[in-house]
Each structure stands twice: as structure tokens, then as C-alpha cells.
């Protein structure tokens, strides 16, 4: 497919963290299709380069930068790549994340920190490095969160806490930077198909495969990418993906004890969403 240089995002530059795989990769593809130039990011040079080559072969304008987004100096390099390569930065999607399959009581403290850092500082540091350019462009910032941030999720303590922090961060920044023209939004994603090699951390910090979920419960990565794209283009404050997510939102607000009962009952039945 040829790049849509006349698309609605032609001339815009998007930086998508954690875009060497999964939802981030498909979001990059969706933004490219709309004419945006995209800076890809991840920590694994070979996988990142394979994603860059695949999108470049489809005719899209892409650059790639290996960077650990929990390292501020690396985030400065990441933003520098966007500016050096495309001259501006309009859109930041903080998507990089490490998830877990571990109960709090069993978790090594360092593992809790690693998961929390990837979800909180992994969003804060790229934004901090990119903010001057986003202010100049009156750009858009989207934090990728989860429906598990709307309620608790057993075996996901650090992940849920980190994802929940992003909603408050977006709200606070919206207030602090009101009048600057920068959009701050959060997308709460529900169950989505995973890359076959996706791994999450167990209590000792070992990478383990993600739970297998029935396909009918899941959206495809392309569907989720299209919803993220729509969220950014409409400059929405919050997008909750999936009927389950919206149900959690309502039940948690109005009937929190019922919400807990549903989570615990389904967890007992399935033993663990993450297994």
C-alpha cells in the first residue's frame, strides 16, 4: 500500500513508544495509513528493525529508535530522532508497558518496581522530553491504559496501579496546561489479541507467556489501533474500549461491591485471568 500523503494526518509526526510489537505496531500502521510519519520504539533492536522494515516496505515514512523509556536520557535521544528525521513532533502515544502475572504477596520488590516504572515513568519520561515540541505543535498526548485500571485485578497489582496513575496524570496535566492547545487523553484497552511471543513477568521477574483467552472475548490489534486513532483525531479525554470496559466503569462507580464479586467469582472460575 502506498503512503497516504494526502491523508488527514499528512505532515504530522507521531512518536509511539513500545511500537516494535503488538498494539503499538498496529497503531503505528494505522497512523501511517492516515499520512503521519511515525517514530517507532522498543528495546529489542532486531525486532524493532524488523517492524521498521515491514512498515517502510509498505511505503510509509518511519524511523526507529531503540530506547528504554524508563531512562530519561534515552527518551531525550528518542525525541531527538523524531526532530532530526522529521523536523517536528505532534503526537505522543505512551504505549510501552510491562505486564505481570504475580500476586503481590509473592512478588520481589524489584519486580513490582520494574512493572510500575514501565507503566508510569515509561509514560512520564517520554512526555517530559517531548513536551516543548508538543507545546509548539499544539499536539496530542495519549496514555495507553487498561480496563483493569478502572477496577482492581488480582495478580496485577503494580500493573493496575501504574495504569490507574496515568488517568490522574492526564487529568492533572490537562488542568496545568489548559490553554496551551495540547490534548491529553487516556485509552483504557480491554482484552486484545496478543503477539504469540508476548511475555509478562512472574513474581520472580521471569518472562512468562500471557494467558490464552477465548478469541470471542478479544478485539484484534487492528481494531484497537483504529479506536486509538479515532481517540487522537477527536482529541477525546477518555476512551474505554469494549462493552466489558464500559460495564466495569458503570458497576465500579455505582455498585463497587458487585464489581468485586464479579471479578473474584470469575477469577475463581478461571483460576486467574493471566494464566
The site for ligand NAP (CB under 6 A) is made up of 17-18, 20-24, 41-44, 68-70, 95-99, 118, 122, 144, 146, 189, 191-192, 194-195, 198
Q: Given the complex with ligand NAP, which of 35 and 40 has the nearer CB atom?
A: 40
Q: Given the complex with ligand NAP, which of 35 and 263 has the nearer CB atom?
A: 263
| 159 catalytic per annotation | yes
Q: Assess contact for 219 and 190: CB atoms under 8 A.
A: yes
DSSP conformation letters of 145-211: EEGGGSS--TT-HHHHHHHHHHHHHHHHHHHHTTTS--EEEEEEE-SB---TT-EEE-TTS-EEEPP
Q: Given the complex with ligand NAP, which of 9 and 124 has the nearer CB atom?
A: 124
- Length, in residues, of the chain: 275
Distance CA 25, CA 32 (A): 11
- Phi, psi torsion values for 249, nearest 5 degrees: -60, -45
Shortest distance in whole angstroms from residue 5 CB to ligand NAP: 27
Residues 6+ apart with CB under 8 A from 203: 102, 103, 106, 107, 108, 111
Distance CA 64, CA 56 (A): 11
Shortest distance in whole angstroms from residue 135 CB to ligand NAP: 24
Question: Beta 140-146 vs 207-209: how paired, if at all?
Answer: unpaired
Residue nearest to ligand NAP (CB): 22
Q: How many CA atoms lie within 13 Å of 257's alpha carbon, on the beta-carbon side?
A: 0
Shortest distance in whole angstroms from residue 117 CB to ligand NAP: 8
Residues 6+ apart with CB under 8 A from 209: 198, 199, 200
Q: Assess contact for 45 and 20: CB atoms under 8 A.
A: no
Q: How many CA atoms lie within 13 Å of 226's alpha carbon, on the beta-carbon side?
A: 6
Shortest distance in whole angstroms from residue 221 CB to ligand NAP: 7
Q: Point out the catalytic residue in the list 60, 121, 125, 159.
A: 159
At residue 125, the 3 state secondary structure works out as: helix
Distance CA 126, CA 255 (A): 37
Q: Given the complex with ligand NAP, which of 37 and 248 has the nearer CB atom?
A: 248
Shortest distance in whole angstroms from residue 253 CB to ligand NAP: 20
Q: Given the complex with ligand NAP, which of 21 and 61 has the nearer CB atom?
A: 21
Shortest distance in whole angstroms from residue 213 CB to ligand NAP: 8
Q: Given the complex with ligand NAP, which of 68 and 260 has the nearer CB atom?
A: 68
User: Any idea which residues carry the catalytic annotation?
Assistant: 159
Amino acid at each position: 500500500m502506498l503512503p497516504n500523503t494526502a491523508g488527514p494526518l499528512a505532515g504530522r509526526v507521531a512518536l509511539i513508544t513500545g511500537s516494535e510489537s503488538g498494539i503499538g505496531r498496529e497503531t503505528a500502521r494505522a497512523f501511517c495509513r492516515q499520512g503521519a510519519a511515525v517514530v517507532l520504539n522498543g528495546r529489542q533492536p532486531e525486532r524493532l528493525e524488523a517492524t521498521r522494515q515491514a512498515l517502510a516496505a509498505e511505503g510509509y515514512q518511519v524511523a526507529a529508535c531503540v530506547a528504554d523509556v524508563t531512562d530519561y536520557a534515552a527518551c531525550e535521544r528518542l525525541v531527538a530522532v523524531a526532530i532530526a528525521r522529521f523536523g517536528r513532533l505532534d503526537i505522543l502515544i505512551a504505549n510501552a508497558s510491562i505486564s505481570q502475572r504475580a500476586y503481590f504477596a509473592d512478588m520481589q520488590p524489584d519486580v513490582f518496581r520494574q512493572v510500575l516504572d514501565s507503566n508510569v515513568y515509561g509514560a512520564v519520561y517520554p512526555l517530559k522530553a517531548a513536551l516543548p515540541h508538543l507545546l509548539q505543535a499544539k499536539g496530542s498526548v495519549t496514555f495507553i491504559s487498561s480496563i483493569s485500571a478502572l477496577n482492581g485485578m488480582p495478580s496485577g497489582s503494580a500493573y493496575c496501579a501504574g495504569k490507574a496513575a496515568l488517568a490522574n496524570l492526564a487529568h492533572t496535566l490537562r488542568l496545568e496546561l489548559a490553554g496551551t492547545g495540547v490534548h491529553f487523553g487516556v485509552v483504557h484497552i480491554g482484552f486484545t489479541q496478543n503477539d504469540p511471543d508476548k511475555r509478562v513477568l512472574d513474581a520472580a521477574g521471569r518472562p512468562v507467556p500471557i494467558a490464552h483467552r477465548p478469541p470471542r472475548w478479544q478485539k484484534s490489534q487492528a481494531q484497537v489501533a483504529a479506536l486509538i486513532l479515532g481517540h487522537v483525531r477527536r482529541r477525546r479525554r477518555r476512551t474505554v474500549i469494549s462493552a466489558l470496559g464500559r460495564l466495569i466503569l458503570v458497576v465500579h462507580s455505582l455498585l463497587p461491591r458487585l464489581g468485586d464479586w464479579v471479578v473474584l467469582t470469575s477469577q475463581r472460575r478461571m483460576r486467574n485471568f493471566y494464566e
